[in-house]
């Protein structure tokens, strides 16, 4: 870990206010990257609010939104992010085979056209740095414009999360080993 994470008693007023807001929200606990972001309390406040909205208030149930998050974590080889969101994906009902396929960079087989589209859209955003017109048109048809916007938001936000966790070398909790090579 490259950064000393502050305890609430070590935080200045702005940091403590942001911290308190995060634990009062839907998560009930501060998200790990926010502890690094507290070095810029205003950024931490806005990023944490955006993260809460994307995690809990998109049009997608966790079973689907976690696909975009796992693709992002895998793209960045974000060990902590993978650890946390694999568990959330399983809890949300995502098929363990799909999770394993994403982990080993194999194209999963999807029964749900929305799940398949979220996967394809997330992969295109990360690997292709955008979305070709045919994929965009299909994504709008399957997910709606709002859905495309929210998947872009999930991929973008969790890219920032992954970069933060990787840069500051957050370790997988509990001394567990990372599943990502």
Of 105, 27, 98, 92, the C-alpha closest to 65 is 92
The pLDDT tens digits for 48-80 are: 999 999 999 999 999 999 999 999 999 999 999
In the prediction, which pLDDT does 176 show?
Answer: 86
The kind and range of the H/E element at 83 are helix 79-92
Q: Which of 172, 154, 173 is nearest to 72 (CA)?
A: 154
Separation between Cα atoms, residue 158 and residue 75, nearest integer Å: 11
- Spatial CA neighbour of 150 closest among 74, 55, 77: 55
End-to-end CA distance of the chain: 19
What is the DSSP-derived secondary structure letter of residue 118?
A: H
Task: Kindly state the tokens that stand for 164.
Answer: 């933060």
| Residue spans of the chain under pLDDT 70 | none
The pLDDT, as a whole number, for residue 25 is: 87
Nearest to 71 by CA among 120, 24, 30, 36: 120
pTM equals 0.95
Question: What's residue 173's pLDDT?
Answer: 87
Q: Return the structure tokens found at 46.
A: 């806005």
Q: Which domains does the chain have, with CATH numbers?
A: 13-57 (no CATH), 62-168 (1.20.1290.10)
Q: How far apart are CA 87 and CA 77, in angstroms?
A: 16
Distance of CA 81 to the CA centre of its chain: 7
Contact 108, 81 (CB under 8 A): no
CB within 8 Å of 18: residues ≥ 6 apart: 34, 38, 41, 44, 45, 48
């Amino acid at each position: 870990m490259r950064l000393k994470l502050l305890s609430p008693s070590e935080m200045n007023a702005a940091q403590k206010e942001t911290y308190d807001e995060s634990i009062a929200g839907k998560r009930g606990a501060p998200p790990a990257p926010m502890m690094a972001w507290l070095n810029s309390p205003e950024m931490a406040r806005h990023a944490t609010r955006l993260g809460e909205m994307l995690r809990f208030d998109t049009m997608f149930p966790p079973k689907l939104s976690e696909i975009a998050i796992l693709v992002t974590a895998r793209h960045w080889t974000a060990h902590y992010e993978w650890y946390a969101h694999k568990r959330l994906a399983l809890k949300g009902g995502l098929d363990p085979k799909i999770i394993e396929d994403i982990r080993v960079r194999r194209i999963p087989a999807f029964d749900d056209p929305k799940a398949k589209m979220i996967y394809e859209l997330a992969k295109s955003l990360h690997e292709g740095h955008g979305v070709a017109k045919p994929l965009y048109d299909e994504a709008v048809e399957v997910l709606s414009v709002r859905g495309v916007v929210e998947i872009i938001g999930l991929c973008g936000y969790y890219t920032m999360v992954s970069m933060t966790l990787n840069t500051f070398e957050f370790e997988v909790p509990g001394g567990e080993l990372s599943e990502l090579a």
